[in-house]
């Protein structure tokens, strides 16, 4: 059962704002407490990736999908819902795709890394870009895999996150800065370009053309003129701080998921810190997603949380029925090496 708590945010200069927060744990239906990745599909279902499996929330209850009726591998690193309705799931043993109610698995035999896929990005053509510890890969709709541009010339290190800019350019955060690729050309940005750090774990693009990247000890914003500058994090001490997730909501708030709680920067520049002192059960935030109803979902070390006054959207099952099919026949036990 979810726990409903009245949440008062700190910092507002005049009137404290109150948000309801709903907590979901293993006893609520999650397969495991650590929620690493969250996304919402086109039908409205909220998907959760944990270290012990994949599940979705239909607005009423959780449903866990296990192999062979789910992805190949229980350790879920990343989930991404593409515009065409495909669900992509990065696991501890490779990549799985749910399309038209059928699962397909991709492994090292298909030219993909088997572990440490850090992020997934829809290519808009039925394929997916993959950020991983060796760089950037592009899995095309026909199953072919290619190295994304000649990034090792520029990067030579881990790619943690990906996004698509308002102008169509590909952006990524790495262990050595931020890159962008447009028309096959790669540009590189680091601390010397005005950024507040060099290691970035999440990156988002706004419709205004701005780019925001967060990572080790800070957040940086690139304005429409191309100028980078650090973002003021208000009450948060940046020494040793890790920013894992960023999300902009319909109210104009910038939501920042950190290892010390949720920081909300409102459209007026006000800072509001949400942590264990005022409603959260855990300060370590892995992921953030804003749903169609305007709620903010958080993945933490000990469960998920929904911040907002709207009910979760009720939706039909994201498949043809209680049984899921695979594009290839499977037999035996679930794969090992997770």
Query: Cα(190)–Cα(167) distance, rounded to whole angstroms?
Result: 21
CA distances from 171 to 145, 150, 163, 321, 331 (A): 19, 15, 5, 37, 40
**Beta partners for 57?**
46, 62
| Alpha helix (H) residue ranges in 56-149 | none
Q: 17: pLDDT confidence band, cut at 50, 70 and 90?
A: low
CATH superfamily of 149-231: Hemopexin-like domain (2.110.10.10)
Q: 68: pLDDT confidence band, cut at 50, 70 and 90?
A: confident
Q: Which of the pair, 173 or 317, is modelled with greater confidence?
A: 173
Q: How far apart are the first and last CA of the chain?
A: 29
- Average pLDDT of the segment spanning 74-93: 94
pLDDT tens digits, 152-203: 444 556 899 999 999 999 999 999 899 999 988 889 999 999 999 889 999 9
What residues have CB less than 8 Å from 284, skipping those under 6 apart? 259, 300, 301
DSSP codes of every residue in 167-205: TS-EEEEETTEEEEEETTEEEEE-GGGT-S-S-EEEEEE
Give the side-chain half-sphere CA count within 13 A for 312.
26
pLDDT for residue 242 is more than 80: yes
pLDDT for residue 322 is more than 70: no
Asked if residues 327 and 104 have their Cβ atoms less than 8 Å apart, the reply is yes
* Boundaries of every domain in the chain: 149-231
**Token pair belonging to 74:** 């229980």
Write phi, then psi, for 153 (nearest 5 degrees): -65, -30
Q: 134: pLDDT confidence band, cut at 50, 70 and 90?
A: confident
**Token pair belonging to 316:** 């039909």
Q: Which of the pair, 214 or 325, is modelled with greater confidence?
A: 214
- Average pLDDT of the segment spanning 269-275: 94
Q: What is the pLDDT of residue 169?
A: 96
Percent of the chain scoring above 90 in pLDDT: 67
């Amino acid at each position: 059962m979810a726990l409903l708590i009245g949440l008062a945010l700190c910092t507002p200069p005049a009137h404290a704002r109150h948000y309801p927060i709903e907590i979901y744990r293993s006893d609520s239906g999650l397969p495991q407490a650590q929620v690493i990745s969250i996304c919402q599909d086109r039908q409205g279902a909220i998907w959760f990736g944990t270290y012990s499996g994949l599940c979705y929330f239909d607005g009423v209850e959780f449903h866990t999908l296990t192999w062979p009726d789910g992805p190949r591998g229980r350790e879920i690193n990343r989930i991404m819902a593409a515009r065409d309705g495909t669900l992509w799931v990065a696991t501890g043993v490779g990549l799985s795709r749910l399309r038209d109610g059928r699962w397909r698995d991709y492994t090292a035999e298909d030219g993909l890394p088997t572990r440490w896929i850090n992020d997934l990005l829809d290519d808009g053509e039925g394929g997916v870009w993959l950020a991983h510890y060796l760089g950037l890969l592009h899995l095309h709709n026909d199953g072919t895999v290619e190295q994304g541009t000649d990034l090792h010339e520029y990067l030579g290190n881990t790619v943690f996150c990906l996004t698509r800019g308002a102008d169509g350019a590909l952006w990524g955060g790495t262990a050595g800065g931020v890159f962008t690729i447009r028309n096959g050309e790669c540009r590189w940005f680091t601390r010397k370009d005005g950024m507040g750090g060099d290691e970035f774990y999440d990156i988002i693009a706004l419709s205004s053309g701005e780019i925001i990247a967060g990572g080790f000890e800070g957040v940086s914003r690139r304005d429409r003129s191309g100028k980078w500058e650090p973002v003021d994090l208000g009450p948060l001490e940046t020494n040793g701080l890790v920013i894992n997730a960023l999300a902009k909501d319909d109210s104009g708030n910038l939501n920042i998921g950190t290892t010390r709680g949720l920081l909300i920067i409102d459209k007026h520049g006000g800072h509001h810190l949400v942590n264990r002192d005022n409603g959260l059960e855990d300060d370590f935030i892995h992921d953030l997603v804003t749903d169609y109803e305007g709620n903010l979902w958080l993945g933490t070390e000990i469960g998920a949380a929904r911040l907002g006054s709207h009910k979760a959207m009720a939706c039909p099952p994201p498949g043809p029925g209680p049984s899921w099919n695979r594009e290839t026949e499977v037999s035996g036990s679930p794969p090992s090496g997770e």
